Amino acid sequence: MTPKTAPQGLCATCAHARTVASAKGSAFVLCGLSRTDGRFAKYPRLPVLACVGFEAAAPSPQETQGHQR
């Protein structure tokens, strides 16, 4: 069974976000900043459109392969 997905907004490209799948097939976004900073929800309501903790994730090797010279 594939987890159901929802638009994630900024979380889709944030270095602090991680997707967690439940046993029932749902997917949730876990904010890593919530562990150390109470301003951030552990599981933010999606889509997140603005966030002071947003930090762009490093591109994956597949994304950078086509851009090498």
pLDDT digits (tens, 9 = 90+) for 56-66: 999 877 665 66
Query: What is the model's pLDDT at position 65?
Result: 65
Q: Is residue 20 part of a domain?
A: yes
Rg of the chain (C-alpha set): 14
Sign of the four-CA dihedral 4, 28, 53, 57: negative
Q: Structure pTM?
A: 0.74
Query: What is the model's pLDDT at position 1?
Result: 40
Q: Is residue 59 part of a domain?
A: no
Question: Cis bond leading into 3, ω under 30°?
Answer: no
**What range defines the domain where residue 39 resides?**
1-50
Q: Is residue 4 part of a domain?
A: yes
pLDDT digits (tens, 9 = 90+) for 4-54: 555 789 999 999 999 999 999 999 999 999 999 999 999 999 999 999 999
Residues 6+ apart with CB under 8 A from 34: 40, 41, 42
